[in-house]
Chains A and B, each alone.
Chain A
Amino acid sequence: NAGVTQTPKFRILKIGQSMTLQCAQDMNHNYMYWYRQDPGMGLKLIYYSVGAGITDKGEVPNGYNVSRSTTEDFPLRLELAAPSQTSVYFCASSYRDFNYEQYFGPGTRLTVT
């Protein structure tokens, strides 16, 4: 049982490039989330999903896209990377909305230069 896994761990992008951050969970959780954490700040919700085929915007969705074709995977797509997207990205999952505990992956550190 690996929990929540994220790849890559680190990535450097040039301005305007695109990439996909991968997230997978093996706990059969319905809910999945993407957060970003900027230095000295709390986690901000980017997008979330309540099940396969269903996604919704969080607090800071601009510049990102997501899809949820399976229960296990929830990739985050960055199009036209900008320096403001330099951050640490965390994926998380939870069993249901009444199970308040979210399980986090180890994070992806992204630098856009």
Chain B
Amino acid sequence: DQQVKQNSPSLSVQEGRISILNCDYTNSMFDYFLWYKKYPAEGPTFLISISSIKDKNEDGRFTVFLNKSAKHLSLHIVPSQPGDSAVYFCAARGFGNEKLTFGTGTRLTIIP
């Protein structure tokens, strides 16, 4: 049972435009959500996170939105740059639980 779902395996966006990556979850006990970015042959690196008590968190070009009623979160990248081309993983964890549940990832390609 996939508790964290990223239904778009890939996404292509023109440089300078907005990239929107989506993530859905089924477990209502999840209370913290993270996005990780992964380049080929490297480990994932933390990008941005959001607690369930918020609906938005912003860090430079990256903004994560959380819609708890829909069990949906999204990552917005504005403006998109070629260096943003990578695989993006959504992850979630439940209260008091150190384990992360990862989605299957979305490969973002920024077209120059």
List chain A positions with a Cβ less than 8 A from chain B: 4, 31, 35, 40-45, 48, 50, 58, 90, 92, 94, 97, 100-107
Contact = CB atoms under 8 A, between A and B. Distances in A.
Given A40-B104, A100-B49, A101-B34, A106 B43 contact: yes
A44 B36 CA distance: 14
20 contacts: A4-B43, A35-B102, A40-B104, A42-B4, A42-B104, A43-B102, A50-B98, A58-B99, A90-B44, A94-B98, A97-B96, A97-B98, A100-B49, A101-B34, A102-B46, A103-B46, A104-B45, A105-B43, A106-B41, A107-B43
Interface in B73-104: 89, 93, 96-104
Nearest to B103: A42
B9 interface: yes
B65 interface: no
Interface of B: 4, 6, 9, 32, 34, 36, 41-46, 49, 89, 93, 96-105
B6 to A, nearest CB: 8
Contacts of A105: 43
Given A31-B98, A58-B99, A90-B44, A101 B49 contact: yes
A71 B46 CA distance: 22
A42 B46 CA distance: 15
Contacts of A41: 104
Contacts of B36: 104
A3 to B, nearest CB: 9
A104 B87 CA distance: 15
Contacts of A45: 99-100
Nearest to B49: A100
Contacts of B96: 97
Contacts of A35: 102
